[in-house]
């Protein structure tokens, strides 16, 4: 057994049962963003979180243990994603990558926005010209150490 | 002459003159995010915007014309960026890619968040445990056409 | 179970039963282009469409549910396709890519032709020197937002 | 001197002079699609076509000779294009590649749509919900030879 | 079931039964070159050809149907082949690629040698200094369309 | 100076002077296939051959010396060629690679067709349905040594 | 001018003048590890540090400004380094990568060792069986945020 | 059976039994770094070490034999690791690669730090600003042989 | 069944039985280098050799037939090997590749060292400073044909 | 100036002057294998060696200094070499890679053949069936450290 198999079981159970990530998150007591990433094999759960998820998706005790093991992260099958929705994010990195870099350095100096001490919120933004996806990202600025 | 040469000239002039993107943006009358991307060869300027930028960076008339030509976009030298700041964004796509996909589809159905009808805002978020980078992205949801 | 397995089952059933995509499309009530893409795991069906497809290809109820889940898109096993028919389309992108870019920008300004709000029609074009494949593509022009 | 240098000179001259591809095509007496591709180093001109293009872009006699040499084709700097407009065409090949294959084989049997005996027409399609890009492609069907 | 599985079954049956491609071809009534390629999953058979091949290799009726479906072509596991015999052909393309190009254009003008309307013949060429492999390729010249 | 620069000078001189490879070959006294490959930097010339080529293309004495140095071979800028004419040969390797392998092994046993003790002849094959390119390749069979 | 050109000038000046990194570091007042990385275009200097480095390597005022601009990081020409000394470090990541992961997670839980809040010290370790390279790395542990 | 299967069995047994690498190492009598790497399929065990590991993880006799076979090393599924923890080490090689090279050559001359005659120690470094990961690497310096 | 499965069975049987390649070679009556390569799926056996190998490794009659089929060669899972022992050979090609080329051409003129009419011998070389691996390679020189 | 430029100057001077590597080596007093590699930018010279080489190839004092700097090694422009002579060595690694691994481990246990404490000798081996290239490689065996 591996974490990948547990992830596939969760995804299949979600389809079979017609669950929603937002409802799973409410049961787990965490945000829908973190909960979805955790169920998709990118985050590590506590024993209690794993128990709740295990109940929702009919996981065995051993499968619940896997949810508490730190996974090998990275959710994409290719370095450049083929799926159009995910590719658009890759495209943003490609088109705006140097802009992110310039503006963060201008504001903070040399360093990075952490992808670890990081949270995000994804929501619908109503708009008469067509609703929009709104994503708020917040990552701690980490200055480069000099020594 | 090519747009790449104009971009390099702008970057070099910015270093030599010690300009800030925020000030360039104020002069151009657009956001700092769009203005920086445009100066880095990713967006297309109007004649008036190009005139202002040309003055700030001592560009020739022909160089100003290039700023009004739609550029070949993509600002990174490799498919997987080596620069740590930019890589963190690539990592977010890799770790959270399937999460973006699940949550947007759960909320909107099949479709994508546009990377064209898109805007963003990058700002400092003060925090006693260390200031954070806050990025608000807003892209129009585009549903897949069925026919 | 996964969407890929459902796709493989559909393809195998089509061979075994000798069905035609045009007939499947007529039963589904959509174009043959959209229907084929949907059966090959690139589009999302409604419950009713999935029911019809399920009957035609002897799918289980759970398999029909998978047809209603947004798939991870991208139908090719390699970034550069090896199949000669599909490669010719890649070659068109490679040879005519900058031409598409120049002419769309000349007509519309900076922006893209949407691959989401997109439809196409593929038909035989009779010709005494040898019949031709005629493909009409229509995608909404999306102008780059400035902000 | 190389064909690439001539292409770059044409592109730079077009920016400096503010020419339009449609006007160049009218002078050359060919479609705007073929003419643009030819000027961008993807097609081969006759002596007369080269003379006209040479006059429009102030090319030397030797440069005009290069326009009559069959070029090494392929207009993109990377196998997967980074430019958003061109990428959308790559995405269509990726998402619809197997659909193209199924439908052409269903209609014609084993073979390909030629990318050589090929023509296309790109035009604006007016639409109250937003104008569209319409591309009509026509390529001769070539059946696989059996022997 | 898939075409790949049928190919693997044919290859395994050939080893077990000790058949020769030349004999298979004689039974099918086509050249050994086309027949081998077809059995290896690169060409499409008629019902009658599939029946003969099915008898020789003990295929089921469903497997024979797969032989009549146009396959996804490309027989190599990597873009640059590792097998020394096949690599030598790749090497010829690499070393002589520009030579092929120059000589075909010199003789025919802009266009290609078709790999679809193509046939070949592979035979032993006796030579006192060591026998040679002789391959005669014949592909229709296809001129680039101008329009 | 490098061999690449000499190759580029030869190619440019050929365009400027309107020479034909067949005529160059006649002057050099070798086949057009070998001569073209040699001029394109893939083969090594004798002093006398280099002298003749040097006269035809106005090369300096030092440049003629480079023609006598064994070059670093490989004439293509990418592992998978983008040029349609050259790609068709790559496609033949991909589609027919395993067929070449099977038939050569069936006739000769384990070994390869040499790409070094190799010659080829490329000619027009007249055909009422459209002329064809005919390529005759002849490479020595080299059996794998056992020891 | 670009940061890369300044780096190349520093490296060339170091060879010409026979300077040592340890001495440069002593003059700059930082560790030899940080100083070398900064001179090689991977870290950002203060105005004072840049002044000292500029004097040592005869840099112009504009070149000194570039040393204060945050560079695009990544010092290697290929994703997998060819240089044997650097490759050994890549090999350690490949062979010990999962070991690093297991042990850090066992000790700290889910998170990473920062490569930003990071320092290192490289020294000779005398050993009668042959001296050894000793590298002490210290990076802050960053726990994954849950939210 | 293969070494990979034994590794997967060990990893799964560790999750099911809740073992710790440090405890496994104590039982084996080697460092936790070497023991973890060995259990993950990167090092070769003696018969006695394999016996102890086999008992801890309920391995069969044949599985214990595999632990004594030299494995095909390399623990990562992609050349550039996607897992954030492991990527940070790759990033260190990328950012500090030329620095490692300069400083080792400055101290020792031409040669490398061995990744074979190599050991390391990974420990927690307490720090009021946040604990740190401390890794001490020690590899024998191997001078390039001249001959 | 495929040759790969036979190879895996041989490797597994060798571990289970504790055989040595040198002993297998003695039984087969060929060198240990050729015999090992043949057992690992890179060379083709005669019926008699396959019989002996089949007995040693408990292969079925059909598996013995596979040993007599010419395999698809290439023994490595990635183009650049990750295993340290094998990588060192790749590194030698990378560091000494141009040296091999220069010295072979200096001695023999244009041509190659055959990897087909090739044999090698690998042995221990005793040395008081540490024993060495000694490999003697011998490949026929093949001159480039001119024609 | 860079080491690459010095290498190119040496290669060009060798062509212009018609020198032989064997003679250069005799003057330098080292083997032809090491000397060639050093002149091609893969090894580091002493001041005296650099002086001799500088005289032979008319190098400036600064260029001679570069010969004494440890170079960034790796002599090939692509990861898989296109040049046929060099490719044959890559092919040997690919075909015989696992054989090298098995036989060295069988003789020495876990470890590698050093590519650093390494020497080689390349010579003509006379043979009535055609002369052969004979390469004797000798690398120190380095056992994996356990700790």
Of J48, J91, J134, J138, catalytic: J91
- Average pLDDT of chain J is 97
Copy the structure tokens of residue C39. 């059966």
Task: Inform me whether the pLDDT recorded for C109 exceeds 90.
Answer: yes
Copy the structure tokens of residue H64. 């214990």
Q: Helix H32-39 vs helix H47-57: angle between axes, to the nearest 10 degrees?
A: 70
Query: What is residue D81's DSSP assignment?
Result: -
Chain D positions in Cβ-Cβ contact with residue F8 (cut-off 8 Å):
2
Binary contact (E73, C84; C-beta < 8 A): yes
pLDDT at J1: 82
SS3 E14: helix
Average pLDDT over residues I92-97: 97
What is the DSSP annotation of F78-122?
A: SSS--SHHHHHHHHHHHHHHHHHHHHHHHHH-SEEEEEEEEEEEE
Nearest to A34 among G105, G119, G146 (CB): G146
Interface check for F95 against chain C (CB to CB < 8 A): the answer is: yes
Q: Is D41 left (phi over 0), alpha (psi -120 to 50) or beta?
A: left
pLDDT tens by residue, D93-127? 999 999 999 999 999 999 999 999 999 999 999 99
Average pLDDT over residues E112-129: 98
Binary contact (C82, E65; C-beta < 8 A): no
Phi and psi torsions of F106, nearest 5°: -65, -35
Task: Inform me whether the pLDDT recorded for G1 exceeds 90.
Answer: no
Interface check for A72 against chain D (CB to CB < 8 A): the answer is: no
Task: Inform me whether the pLDDT recorded for D44 exceeds 90.
Answer: yes
I88 is catalytic: yes
Length of chain A measured in residues? 147
Task: Inform me whether the pLDDT recorded for A55 exceeds 90.
Answer: yes
Nearest-neighbour CA in chain E from D30: distance (Å): 6
pLDDT at F53: 98
Count of pairs with CB atoms under 8 A, one residue in E, one in I: 26
Confidence of residue F134 (pLDDT cuts 50, 70, 90): very high
- Average pLDDT of chain I is 97
Nearest to F118 among I72, I118, I145 (CB): I145
Q: How many CA atoms lie within 13 A of D119 on its CB side?
A: 11
Interface check for J84 against chain H (CB to CB < 8 A): the answer is: no
For residues A18 and C8, the answer to whether their CB atoms sit within 8 Å is: no
What is the DSSP annotation of chain J?
A: --HHHHHHHHHHHHHHHT--HHHHHHHHTS-HHHHHHHHTTSS---HHHHHHHHHHHT--HHHHHHTTSPP-----SSSS--SHHHHHHHHHHHHHHHHHHHHHHHHH-SEEEEEEEEEEEEEEE--TT--EEEEEEEEEEEEPP--
- Cα dihedral A101/A105/A110/A114 (nearest 10): -60
Name residues whose C-beta falls within 8 Å of residue J146's C-beta, 6 or more positions apart in sequence: H30, H34, H43
Residue of C95, C134, C142 to mutate for D, most D C-beta atoms under 10 A: C95
Q: How far is CA A81 from the centre of its chain?
A: 16
Binary contact (I65, E18; C-beta < 8 A): yes
Confidence of residue B60 (pLDDT cuts 50, 70, 90): very high
pLDDT at C1: 82
SS3 F73: coil
Q: In terms of Cα–Cα distance, which of H99, H98, H80 is closest to H89?
A: H80
For residues B90 and H82, the answer to whether their CB atoms sit within 8 Å is: no
Binary contact (E62, C18; C-beta < 8 A): no
Of E88, E132, E134, E138, catalytic: E88
Helix (H) or strand (E) holding A4: helix A3-17
Confidence of residue E25 (pLDDT cuts 50, 70, 90): very high
Interface check for B77 against chain A (CB to CB < 8 A): the answer is: no
pLDDT at G61: 96
Of I2, I60, I75, I114, catalytic: I114
Interface check for C83 against chain E (CB to CB < 8 A): the answer is: yes
Tell me if there are at least 3 CB pairs under 8 Å linking chains E and H. no
- Average pLDDT of chain G is 97
Chain H positions in Cβ-Cβ contact with residue I80 (cut-off 8 Å):
79
Chain G positions in Cβ-Cβ contact with residue A145 (cut-off 8 Å):
116-119
Residue G107: CB atoms within 10 Å: 17
Phi and psi torsions of C119, nearest 5°: -140, 160
A107 is catalytic: no
pLDDT tens by residue, A100-141? 999 999 999 999 999 999 999 999 999 999 999 999 999 999
Copy the structure tokens of residue J146. 């356990």
Interface check for F92 against chain C (CB to CB < 8 A): the answer is: no
Tell me if there are at least 3 CB pairs under 8 Å linking chains D and E. yes
Nearest to A147 among G34, G111, G146 (CB): G34
Nearest-neighbour CA in chain I from F112: distance (Å): 8
Phi and psi torsions of F117, nearest 5°: -85, 75
- Average pLDDT of chain B is 97
Task: Inform me whether the pLDDT recorded for J101 exceeds 90.
Answer: yes
Copy the structure tokens of residue I1. 């069944």
Tell me if there are at least 3 CB pairs under 8 Å linking chains F and E. yes
Confidence of residue E6 (pLDDT cuts 50, 70, 90): very high
Nearest-neighbour CA in chain G from H92: distance (Å): 7
Task: Inform me whether the pLDDT recorded for I1 exceeds 90.
Answer: no
Task: Inform me whether the pLDDT recorded for A1 exceeds 90.
Answer: no
Nearest-neighbour CA in chain G from I93: distance (Å): 11
pLDDT tens by residue, H87-97? 999 999 999 99
Nearest-neighbour CA in chain I from H11: distance (Å): 21
Q: What percent of chain G has pLDDT over 70?
A: 100
Average pLDDT over residues D74-83: 96
Task: Inform me whether the pLDDT recorded for J122 exceeds 90.
Answer: yes
pLDDT at D1: 82
Measured distance CA(F43)–CA(I109) in Å, rounded: 11
- Cα dist from E63 to D105, E6, J57, whole Å: 19, 6, 69
Task: Inform me whether the pLDDT recorded for E49 exceeds 90.
Answer: yes
pLDDT at H5: 96
Confidence of residue H21 (pLDDT cuts 50, 70, 90): very high
pLDDT tens by residue, C53-86? 999 999 999 999 999 999 999 999 999 999 999 9
Binary contact (J110, H70; C-beta < 8 A): yes
Chain A positions in Cβ-Cβ contact with residue C62 (cut-off 8 Å):
15-16
Task: Inform me whether the pLDDT recorded for E9 exceeds 90.
Answer: yes
pLDDT tens by residue, I109-146? 999 999 999 999 999 999 999 999 999 999 999 999 99
Interface check for D13 against chain B (CB to CB < 8 A): the answer is: no
pLDDT tens by residue, F111-128? 999 999 999 999 999 999
Nearest-neighbour CA in chain E from D146: distance (Å): 7
Helical residues (DSSP H) of chain E, grouped into ranges: 3-17, 21-28, 32-39, 47-57, 61-67, 84-108
Measured distance CA(G1)–CA(F144) in Å, rounded: 56
Query: What is residue I117's DSSP assignment?
Result: E
The domains found in chain J, sorted by start residue, are 3-66 (1.10.260.40), 84-143 (3.30.1160.10)
Nearest to A2 among H8, H77, H81 (CB): H8
Task: Inform me whether the pLDDT recorded for B1 exceeds 90.
Answer: no
Interface check for J75 against chain E (CB to CB < 8 A): the answer is: no
- Cα radius of gyration (chain B): 18
Confidence of residue E125 (pLDDT cuts 50, 70, 90): very high
Tell me if there are at least 3 CB pairs under 8 Å linking chains G and F. no
Q: In terms of Cα–Cα distance, which of A42, A33, A68, A43 is closest to A54?
A: A68
Nearest to A74 among H15, H16, H83 (CB): H83
- Cα dist from J15 to F61, F63, I27, J12, J20, whole Å: 11, 10, 53, 5, 9
Confidence of residue A64 (pLDDT cuts 50, 70, 90): very high
| Pairing of the two strands E111-125 and E132-143 | antiparallel
What is the DSSP annotation of A25-60?
A: HHHHTS-HHHHHHHHTTSS---HHHHHHHHHHHT--
Confidence of residue A8 (pLDDT cuts 50, 70, 90): very high
Nearest to I95 among G84, G91, G95 (CB): G84
């Amino acid at each position: 057994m591996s974490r990948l198999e547990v992830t596939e079981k969760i995804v299949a159970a979600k389809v079979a049962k017609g669950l929603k990530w937002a409802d799973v998150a409410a049961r787990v007591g965490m945000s829908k963003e973190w909960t979805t990433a955790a169920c998709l094999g990118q985050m590590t759960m506590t024993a209690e979180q794993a128990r709740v998820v295990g109940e929702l998706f009919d996981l065995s005790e051993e499968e619940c243990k896997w949810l508490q093991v730190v996974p090998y992260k990275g959710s994409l099958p290719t370095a450049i994603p083929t799926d159009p929705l995910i590719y658009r994010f890759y495209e943003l990195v490609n088109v705006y990558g140097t802009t992110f870099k310039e503006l963060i350095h201008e504001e903070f100096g040399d360093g990075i926005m952490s992808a670890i001490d990081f949270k995000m919120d994804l929501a619908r933004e109503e708009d008469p010209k067509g609703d929009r996806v709104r994503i708020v990202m917040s990552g701690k600025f980490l200055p480069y150490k000099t020594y």
